[in-house]
Every structure is written in C-alpha cells, then in structure tokens.
Amino acid sequence: SLLLPCCRAKEIKTKLGTLLQKPDSTIDFIIPYPEKPEKPPKAQKPSPEEALQWRDSLEKLLQNPYGLASFRSFLRSEFSEENAEFWVACEDYKKTKSPVKMAEKAKKIYEEFIQTEAPKEVNIDHFTKAVTMKNLVEPSPTSFDMAQKRIFALMEKDSLPRFVRSEFYHELI
C-alpha cells in the first residue's frame, strides 16, 4: 500500500540511473565534507558540564566539533563510522544553494552511502531507500531527510548509550 506501483518504481529507477550515469569530471574533485576528521585542538575541549549534556542529547553532541570528532573516533572503533559520516554529509548537503552542486553532492552521497554495496552503506530499510531514490530524481534540500532521520534515530538509540559508557566519553567528563 505504501510502496510505489511497479511501473512508477521502474520510471524512477530509470531516471535515477540516467542521473547517476551522467559523466561529470568535476565530481571527483569535489569533497563536500572531511574524509579524515581530526580532533579539534585541546583548547576547544568542552567543559565536563557541557560533555555531560551529551548523554541526553545526540543533537548537542553532533553540533559540537570536539564531541563529533570524539563520537566519530568511537564509531570508528566499532566499525560503524559511516552513520556519523552520512549524517555530516547530509548536513553539508542541506546547506548547498547551487542546484548543480546539490546534484553533484546528492550523487556522491547516494554512491557512497545509499546504493546497495556502497563503500559505506548505511543500514536503512527498503522503504526509506525507495523514498530516498524517488527524492533524488529531482534533488532538493530535503532529499535525504528520511534516511538522515533513520540514521540519527539508530545512533541515538544504539550508539549514543555505548559511547556514554566508553573511555572516549569518560575522558571528557
């Protein structure tokens, strides 16, 4: 009932395939988000009080550069860094104004995180993947919203509690 009719799904897949096949030599040179994040200088280390707030707010954690770097280091240690990388890529994507750059970034995010067998494929359900693919036929700032919300919820429910118990976090408080 919520799934796309068969012919509509094929039409979307064809359009998306065409979009993703367009050769664009500049895409290889555009890096919309840092590939290898580094911890910010010690001077930016949060106060223990600030770090304590992260236990109850993944949003506050992700918005703090030091917190994000610590969380990503933790996720890397658990082999699930792609979730935070995807979230960061989506945040960068939503700030993109140029339709051309938006299409380029959408293609890169799709190829890196969404498509089956992607190098950093995130764990989203079939319906969310289908909606995301449909949204990419005409990329807009909200194209990845559903997938980003699913990954945020996964990190909030699963990764954040483990992070709060980890040495990465205890060093901050």
What is the residue-averaged pLDDT of the chain? 83
In a domain, 93, yes or no: yes
pTM: 0.73
User: Does residue 25 have a pLDDT over 90?
Assistant: no
The pLDDT tens digits for 58-77 are 999 999 999 999 999 999 99
- pLDDT of 30 reads 43
**pLDDT of res. 158:** 94
Domain assignment of residue 90, yes or no:
yes
Domain annotation covers residue 105: yes
d(CA 102, CA 90): 11
56 to each of 19, 39, 51, 137, 144, how far by Cα in Å? 40, 22, 10, 37, 25
Confidence of residue 24 (pLDDT cuts 50, 70, 90): very low
12, part of any domain: no
Summarize pLDDT for 114-133 with one digit per residue, the tens: 999 999 999 999 999 999 99
Instruction: Classify residue 29: in a domain, yes or no.
Output: no
| CATH number of the structural domain spanning residue 100 | 1.10.167.10
In a domain, 167, yes or no: yes
HSE on the CB side for 132, CA within 13 Å? 25
- Parent domain of 112: 48-171
Distances in Å between the Cα of 17 and the Cα atoms of 11, 65, 116 are 10, 36, 13
> 110, 105, 99: which is closest to 30 by C-alpha?
105
What are the tens digits of pLDDT across the range 62-116?
Answer: 999 999 999 999 999 999 999 999 999 999 999 999 999 999 999 999 999 999 9
Asked if residue 128 belongs to a domain, the reply is yes
Q: Which residue has the tokens 């960061």?
A: 88
- The total of structural domains in the chain comes to 1
Q: Does residue 19 form part of some domain? A: no
- The predicted structure's pLDDT at residue 13: 52
% of the chain beyond a pLDDT of 70:
75
d(CA 171, CA 21) in angstroms, rounded, equals 46
* Full 3-state SS string of the chain: CCCCCHHHHHHHHHHHHHHHHCCCCCHHHCCCCCCCCCCCCHHHCCCHHHHHHCCCCHHHHHHCHHHHHHHHHHHHHCCCHHHHHHHHHHHHHHCCCCHHHHHHHHHHHHHHHHCCCCCCCCCCCHHHHHHHHHHCCCCCCCCCHHHHHHHHHHHHHHHHHHHHCCHHHHCCC
Q: Residues with Cβ < 8 Å from 164, sequence gap 6 or more? A: 54, 55
